[in-house]
Amino acid sequence: MSARTLFDKVWTAHEVVPESVDTPAVLYIDLHLIHEVTSPQAFSVLKSLDLRVRRPDRTLATMDHSTPTVTEQVFGKIPIKLDAAAKQVRQLESNAAEFGVELFDMRDARRGIVHVISPELGCTQPGMTIVCGDSHTSTHGAFGALAFGIGTTEVGHVFATQCLLQRKPKTFAVNVEGELRPGVTAKDLILHIIGRIGVSGGTGHVLEYRGSTIRALSMDERMTICNMSIEAGARAGMIAPDETTFEYLKAKPRAPQGVEWDAALPRWRALCTDPDARFDASVDIDASTLEPMITYGTNPGMVMPLGGAIPRISGNAVYDKALGYMGFHGGEVMLGKPVDVVFIGSCTNGRLEDLKAAASILKGRKVAAGVRLLIVPGSQQVKRDAESLGLAQIFKDAGADWRESGCSMCLGMNGDTVGAGQYSVSTSNRNFEGRQGVGARTLLVSPMTAAATAVQGRIADPREFL
Amino acid sequence: MEPLQRVHSKTVVIGSTNVDTDQIIPARFLTTTTKDGLGKQLFADWRYLADGAPNPAFILNRPEAAGCQVLVAGRNFGCGSSREHAPWALLDYGIRAVISTEIADIFKSNALKNGLLPVTVGDATARWLLENPGAEVDIDLAAARLTLPDGTATSFPIEAFARHCLLHGIDELGYLRSKLDVIESYEAARRW
């Protein structure tokens, strides 16, 4: 058999019917994650056609997007402030009960952001196909799974058949070599990659992140990388599973146990791309020279080294509009600019290692006067871990607002928003206009840069705190 | 779904590149549990001023945009989230086709499943359309052909099965369900 990529191997193993000129492939889905925002209309379709969820055992539901992060609202001491969000939560509860889908509801200790909880429970495993009505499903590719976001119509397809109709995407190798310098993180690397290939550079492709830099990353870091594949327009992002992956999964409650674990390991080890396999596209990245990165515009591709100046581009109306929205102009230096809000969290950077990185800078320091620091764990498990490790106390002592888990301020639909015109330095994934609230101005950074900025009240270089 | 053969309409132009789904419909409107009525929230943050009044500078609020069913957009339209609310909002407003040099993958898939035609064209055609708002164009789905007012015709790529389903009003779920016996065999044969 000819040499194959990681993607090819996972794809082929899930072809129920291969694609033809006239019809897409019927692709089997191993794990279907759902949440309250993109599932209601799909359940409605099932009801209208009198269908069941075909494989509830391969379906897992949580609540994260529209849910509040304020403790009293989460645990029902006071009502959820947003009526429409409360209705969505109730709807998912009734749909899950009616269709027999396992749901981590508001009070469940396993609840959290869908892309944080599935890996931490061990539901996300190498070689799987995983979908969710959410574009950041690409996160799960960190385990060597083929994981991608789908629309609500497709959520209905998976409910009814456990399959999707898909054309086979192309492959794209992102080769990363060299050691990241202190203070430079996985977030900085992925921002650099997006800047390099562009926000539509990955369209129609599945990225495979490869090379010594990627192999040296932890699972939390790999998830940060794969999470933002969609910001380069890619269908998915993948990383070959290795000992780091297996070590992470080993003790997870829903990972294979005993003989099943022993049987899974050789299968997982065989997934990596064959030495002579060819990709449809590739890019080479030197990680050893990277600096902390920050976005200056209104898409994640408008990104620059933290210590640099905003590029000057003349005669580009889109660039002018983006900088006008941000209140910036070409040539301005980013360091030292005052900020209003700092947000640490999201499916990109809401895991324990992210919080540890932030805490390493916030320990014994205070948030600058006039700055709001909101820290939201990616899951209730991350919250408990951060509390038992003393990180939460460090955050509270610094003056941060420490919340229950959820998508929170990554997208302004749950009550956590940035005000119009305010500058928000955020560890999330999108700096689109209005993403964090109407008129909000978002600058994407790593957790370390976010923490350093919160302390100084101005955009700051985390390396000064190391 | 209603069969869709042809869209014949004047164009409305939103020339920005990388128009993301948060612009098409901001996240705060995603707390709905139905598909209905999202058209009034289409491009909400560009279309309405802070007090809720229509922004007279935005193209959809100008008289020439009324009744236009074809949106001409800059490169990489529909990037960002997987929210199907984006095509739902465009369709509810009255848009039936989007023309761009590049349309984001998930948006394109969602559009096709709802009868919103994603039409990708080359740079020269796109440039002409961007520079000539209000042009009367014809999109023939069966022929996968876009015809400009001067009669110039250009073909566009469209996934064969999606086109078949749109032309005949076939729901893809019905096709998938017709494969349930094969799906069951696949499940039975899998060794893991």
Look at residue B1 and tell me if it is in a domain.
Answer: no
| A247-279 CB burial, b ≥16 within 10 A, e <16 | ebbeebeebbeeeeeeebbeebeebbbeeebeb
- The CATH number covering residue B57 comes to 3.20.19.10
**Alpha-carbon distance A110 to nearest alpha carbon in chain B (angstroms):** 23
Please give the share of chain A, as a percent, with pLDDT higher than 70: 100
In chain B, residues with a C-beta closer than 8 Å to the C-beta of A408 are: none
Nearest to B10 by CA among B92, B77, B65: B65
Residues A252, A265: Cα–Cα separation, whole Å: 15
The number of residues making up chain B comes to: 192
Instruction: Name every chain A residue with its beta carbon within 8 A of the beta carbon of B37.
Output: none
Contact B26 A66 (CB under 8 A): no
CATH fold of A6-166 reads Aconitase; domain 3 (3.30.499)
Determine, for residues A167 and B20 on separate chains, whether the beta-carbon distance falls below 8 Å.
no
- Least CB–CB distance from B176: residue in A84, A157, A412: A157
Contacts of B84 in chain A (CB under 8 A): 38, 41, 133, 151-153
Q: What is the mean pLDDT of residues A305-328?
A: 96
Measured between beta carbons, the chain A residues lying within 8 angstroms of B13 are none
Q: Cβ contact (<8 Å) for A153 and B84?
A: yes
Q: Do B18 and A17 touch (CB under 8 A)?
A: no
Q: How many angstroms separate the CA of residue B17 from the nearest CA in chain A? A: 7
Domain coordinates in residue numbering, chain A: 6-166, 170-244+266-288, 294-465
* Chain B nearest C-alpha distance from A36 (Å): 9
* Whole-number average pLDDT of chain A: 97
Give just the sign of the alpha carbon dihedral B53, B58, B62, B65: negative
**What ipTM was predicted for this assembly?**
0.97
Residue of B26, B80, B173 with shortest CB distance to A156? B173
pLDDT of residue A461 exceeding 90, the answer is yes
Burial of B135 (0-12, 13-18, 19+ CB in 10 A): middle
Name residue A342's beta-bridge partners.
A373, A425
- Topology of A294-465 in CATH? Aconitase; domain 3 (3.30.499)
**Minimum distance, in Å, between the CA of residue A239 and any CA atom of chain B:** 21
Best residue of A22, A131, A161, A416 to probe chain B, by most B CBs closer than 10 Å:
A161
State the pairing for strand pair A170-177/A102-104: unpaired
Over the stretch A2-58, which tens digit does the pLDDT of each residue have? 899 999 999 999 999 999 999 999 999 999 999 999 999 999 999 999 999 999 999
pLDDT (average), residues A441-452: 98
Instruction: Write the pLDDT tens digit of every residue in A240-266.
Output: 999 999 999 998 999 999 999 999 999
Confidence of residue A1 (pLDDT cuts 50, 70, 90): low
Nearest to A430 among B22, B102, B113 (CB): B22
Closest residue of chain A to B101, computed from CA coordinates: A200
Count up the domains in chain B and report the number: 1
Cβ-Cβ contacts under 8 Å, A235 against chain B: 105
A200-243 pLDDT, tens digit per residue, is: 999 999 999 999 999 999 999 999 999 999 999 999 999 999 99
Determine the angle formed by the axes of helices A447-456 and A352-362, rounding to 10 degrees.
30
Per-residue pLDDT of chain B (192 residues; tens, 9 = 90+): 889 999 999 999 999 999 999 999 999 999 999 999 999 999 999 999 999 999 999 999 999 999 999 999 999 999 999 999 999 999 999 999 999 999 999 999 999 999 999 999 999 999 999 999 999 999 999 999 999 999 999 999 999 999 999 999 999 999 999 999 999 999 999 976
Residues spanned by the domain of B63:
6-189
Pairwise CB contact (< 8 Å): B173 & A45: yes
Cβ–Cβ contact A300 with B under 8 A = no
Structure tokens at A138: 């690409």
Going through A390-449 in order, the beta strands assigned E by DSSP cover 401-402, 423-426, 441-444
| Residue carrying structure tokens 């932030």 | A358
CB pairs under 8 A between A and B: 171
Overall pTM > 0.95: yes
- State whether CATH 2.40.420.20 applies to domain A170-244+266-288: no
User: Matching CATH topology for A6-166 and A294-465?
Assistant: yes
Residue A162's pLDDT is 98
Closest alpha carbon to B179 in A150, A25, A382, A20: A25
Cα separation, A306 vs A309, in Å, equals 8
Distance from CA of B164 to the nearest CA of A (A): 9
Q: What is the mean pLDDT of residues A106-111?
A: 97
A122-150 per-position pLDDT tens digit: 999 999 999 999 999 999 999 999 999 99
Distance from CA of A122 to the nearest CA of B (A): 16
